[in-house]
Structure 1
Amino acid sequence: MSRVFEALCAHLKTHPEAEVQDAVKFLYQASFGGGHFLSDPDGAYQYLLKEAEIANRDAPYTEALGEQYARINLSALQELSPKTLFAMFKASSEDTPTDKTAFLSLLDELENADLFDKAEKAAFLKSYRAAGCPAVHHSEAYRRAYHPAYRVVKKAYADFLSAFIAIDKLTAEKAPVTVAIDGLCGSGKTTFAALLQSVYDCNLFHADDFYLPMPMRTPERYATPGGNVHWERILSDILEQIPKNESFSYRMFDCGVMDLGDAVQVTPKTLNILEGSYSTHPELIGRYDLKIFLKTSPETQSARILKRNGPARHKMFVEKWIPLENLYFTSYPVEKQCDLVFTT
């Protein structure tokens, strides 16, 4: 049984009034997300606001549609900003898959499963396939029983929903807001930061742009937990500048010349994110409004680094960078000091 079909079966157990077309809709959304590009974003946002007024406030915030997509129920708007949810929905709709191969396999799986009346299911699926397998609405029975009100988004948005809620709360209360994303290499910090940037108009900084300059690369420095990042410059060039709410510039380390590169100009924004290992170094941790930690299993970490960096650099990570990270994580209570922790 596929992961998507497992999710469907779990959904049907909690939604016994669902009909065949509701199952098809579930599988369609699991395959294609929202299923369409937003041709009228302003109108779609206004519709979201109207629908939120009558949404079931007791519905669970999220429901996975398999491994790629999820439903975020409008009940989440009790804590999540409508603008944030709409941005998630819009971003998730911009690269809708078009290949129907996997979806057609799911329909076959549905037809062969011991679900619904067999003759009724076969008749519906025959007619549905003949029509070209379009998007469908929920059945009237489903609507009466469950009053569905949700938006389909990429699953990662649902997985990190508590982080979006925390950021929405902070940015509604103050400005500027500064967020740190620390964690193990290969845990998805950069990917998560890009996910946040797809929703928020924010400044994003990377700890990897603050490598140690050559004169500081001494055995004594590397022996210091967290010493293999130039935290002094992160502090002076970034974290001390953000609260001033003024334009500033900084220079990223350029590995091509093993020295600092050209200046990068920064415009003041409400949200500012620093991602990367060592971003919550003891000398930096007090500068953040929200601290997030990402972790993963050693097996997953190794597989991701190998896929991302290739065998030669994977060996370097195993022999050098991971031990230095582990020294940092065992020397300081990094994970415990973070406000949110995610396992990826």
Structure 2
Amino acid sequence: MADVQARVEDVVRRLVDSGRESAVQVAAYRHGELIVDAYAGEGVDAASLLHSFSTGKGVTATLVHVLVARGLLDYDTPLSALWPEFGAHGKDRATVRDALTHRTGVPQLPPAITPEELCDWDHMCALIAAQEPLWEPGAATGYHGWTFGWVLGETVRRATGLPVAEALRTYVTEPLGIADSLFYGTPDAHADRVVPLVAGSWEEKLAAIPEDAPFLLAVPNPGVWPCARLANRPDYLRADAPAAATLTAHAAARMYAALIGEVDGVRLVPAERLPLLYELRTREPDRILGAPVPKGLGYFLGLPETGGEPTAFGHNGSGGSIAFADPGRELSFAFTRSRLSASADDTHAQDLAALIRGAVAG
């Protein structure tokens, strides 16, 4: 696979040299083996950490699936059975399965919420638990942009007795040897490895969203928009907000590889449970995103970067990061970047994933 590594290196180097990217990482695993680990950009290497916003939702979903496989959680357990406060206002029927499929009915945040509040775990969990759902839990799906992380993260804490960051390290990253390259809040000891994000067309897209758009219920003011200004705040980077993550492309690709197969003797979920992750759970219109979005248990399905493969599952993030697994090809892929983009001609991740798919097919 030396040829595909060289080809990807050439592409990412040209993207940076042309100014279309500032810093980028690409990684891929096939049959549990690393086949691509490429990067480009000044001061960037394979160990550099990039904040990748909702790509982190795939990390949190993975943690939940590992805990279910170990018998520490169950998909049909009501969240309130572990977290009684969450049952307020009729949310007592919401289950772990509902949380994974964005069906708990609490995607919203208060209009004046501040970045400082996002950094306060206990405050955010109490706020979400006290909210009235926008719809009957389980009756509809609507993207829980920020709240996905605290809803599931606090459930994990109640089930394991561990803070969510420690649970991630114990059950996912340490067994895979990536405990130093996949985080929620970034420890101070690794802060100098974080590549600052760069404002791009993604911020312009957020600013152009109409004030009455449902999406702004989930990200209600510019201070908590998932953009470079927030991601570069030291207090936010240190905080655990499990709808997002700071990671390397290598670590994300390795995690997905260990979901669909064995990586250096480690498999995160038993093979017989794998189809549960990518089985279609809903394709109904999403009440926050405003369009149908195929969802599995915690992952999006058939994203453009996967070539539309219906069993490929993963998660993308604001500004263009993505990580996913393609079980049919026994392939995993991750793309991280520093410049957040939303331009129509930005198909960099899609093109790189297609290049790698073509190479393994050949």
Q: TM-score, normalised by structure 1?
A: 0.26
Q: Flag the structure with more relative contact order, 1 or 2, with Cα contacts below 8 A and sequence separation at least 6.
A: 2
Between Structure 1 and Structure 2, the one with more helix by share is 1
Larger Rg: 1
Q: TM-score, normalised by structure 2?
A: 0.25
Between Structure 1 and Structure 2, the one with more strand by share is 1
